[in-house]
């Protein structure tokens, strides 16, 4: 149970209290009512489509009562399925928490769990392995991955950052795109355990040239505004196909 908690924290970089207070009902109901991705199949890449089909997303209450997502990889889902199967043998019947504290009606204490495994994992400086520092580490990785502003915005919303916190800003964006982005960026350790491949990935990331953004001219702005006037009037964001059609009509964009 405690290792499941640690894996969820490592994948999502959520605040400890948010993960430990997830209810069984919340998790199970989400399994019964998984969202269909058919509405935006054309708006995501093949990689994003595969990722979205292989993760589970539930929405919980975050800081300030804001709804925030939590992702579960297929590995974590399998472990939780086993946990639910034998739950009655070690948890009280009236314990409503997914990760309940055996013998009590409360949940496990998340920060103590992380501290325990940080101390026992053999790390040289286990005091640096805290939930807060893991969240800050993810902000640092945005620079290593050389992410653009839109990707950083999606990531900021996912981890529930506020403006100015760890140099990551928060803006509105599509939650499904954010889920795919975070799953792709943080699941490397779960799907690729080869040190050689990890080092190769790191070198590729470091050597990647940063994209130089050139502001649009007034003519280009007018072309975009004219093309998306229906989307603008309806308050509807464009999908990938519409953007590609615009680029075909105006190659200079």
- Overall number of domains in the chain: 2
Same-domain status, 43 and 139? yes
Locate 249 and state its tokens.
């009509």
> How far is Cα 12 from Cα 233, in angstroms, rounded to an integer?
36
Same-domain status, 129 and 224? no
Q: What are residue 164's phi and psi, to 5 degrees? A: 90, -10
Same-domain status, 133 and 177? yes
Residue 148, domain member (yes or no): yes
Residue 196, domain member (yes or no): no
Mean pLDDT score across all residues of the chain: 78
Residue 37, domain member (yes or no): yes
Same-domain status, 237 and 150? no
Buried b (16+ CB within 10 A) or exposed e, 163-181: eeebebebeebebbbbbbb
The 10s digit of each residue's pLDDT in 59-99 is: 888 887 888 889 999 999 999 999 999 999 999 989 999 99
Residue 200, domain member (yes or no): no
Same-domain status, 231 and 160? no
Residue 207, domain member (yes or no): no
> How far is Cα 239 from Cα 231, in angstroms, rounded to an integer?
10
Same-domain status, 84 and 131? yes
pLDDT by position in tens, the chain (length 253): 899 999 999 888 888 899 999 999 999 887 665 555 556 666 777 877 777 778 888 888 888 788 888 999 999 999 999 999 999 999 998 999 999 999 899 999 999 999 999 999 888 888 889 988 888 887 777 766 767 777 777 777 777 765 344 444 333 344 555 555 555 555 544 545 445 555 555 555 555 566 677 888 999 999 999 999 998 988 888 888 888 898 899 888 7
Same-domain status, 222 and 111? no
* Structural domain containing residue 106: 2-189
Residue 28, domain member (yes or no): yes
Between the CA of residue 89 and those of 1, 83, 85, what are the distances in Å? Answer: 13, 10, 9
Task: Answer for the pair 14, 159: CB distance below 8 angstroms, yes or no.
Answer: yes
- What residue spans of the chain are helical by DSSP H? 2-12, 16-20, 24-32, 46-53, 74-85, 110-120, 131-144, 149-158, 175-186, 188-191, 195-207, 218-227, 229-234, 240-249
CATH number of the domain where residue 9 is located: 1.10.443
Same-domain status, 67 and 161? yes
Same-domain status, 17 and 98? yes
3-state secondary structure of 243: helix
Same-domain status, 230 and 175? no
For the entire predicted model, the pTM comes to 0.58
Between the CA of residue 236 and those of 146, 157, 174, 230, what are the distances in Å? Answer: 29, 19, 11, 8
Same-domain status, 234 and 166? no
DSSP letter at 62 equals -
């Amino acid at each position: 149970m405690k290792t499941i908690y640690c894996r969820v924290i490592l994948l999502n970089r959520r605040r400890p209290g948010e993960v430990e207070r997830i209810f069984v009902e919340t998790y199970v109901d989400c399994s019964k009512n998984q969202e269909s991705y058919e509405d935006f199949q054309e708006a995501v890449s093949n990689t994003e489509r595969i990722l979205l089909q292989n993760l589970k997303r539930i929405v919980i209450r975050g800081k300030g009562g804001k709804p925030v997502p939590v992702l579960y990889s297929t590995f974590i889902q399998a472990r939780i399925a086993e946990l639910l199967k034998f739950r009655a043998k070690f948890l009280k019947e009236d314990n409503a928490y997914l990760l309940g504290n055996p013998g009590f009606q409360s949940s496990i204490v998340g920060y103590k769990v992380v501290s325990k495994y940080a101390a026992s994992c053999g790390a040289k400086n286990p005091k640096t392995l805290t939930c807060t520092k893991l969240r800050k580490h993810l902000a640092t990785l945005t620079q290593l991955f050389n992410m653009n502003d839109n990707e950083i915005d999606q990531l900021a919303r996912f981890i529930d950052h506020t403006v100015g916190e760890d140099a990551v800003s928060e803006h509105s964006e599509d939650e499904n795109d954010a889920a795919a982005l975070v799953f792709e960026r943080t699941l490397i350790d779960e799907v690729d355990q080869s040190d050689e491949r990890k080092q190769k990935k790191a070198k590729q990331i470091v050597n990647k040239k940063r994209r130089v953004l050139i502001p649009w001219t007034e003519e280009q702005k007018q072309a975009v505004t004219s093309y998306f006037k229906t989307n603008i009037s309806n308050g509807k964001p464009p999908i990938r196909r519409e953007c590609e059609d615009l680029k075909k009509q105006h190659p200079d964009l």
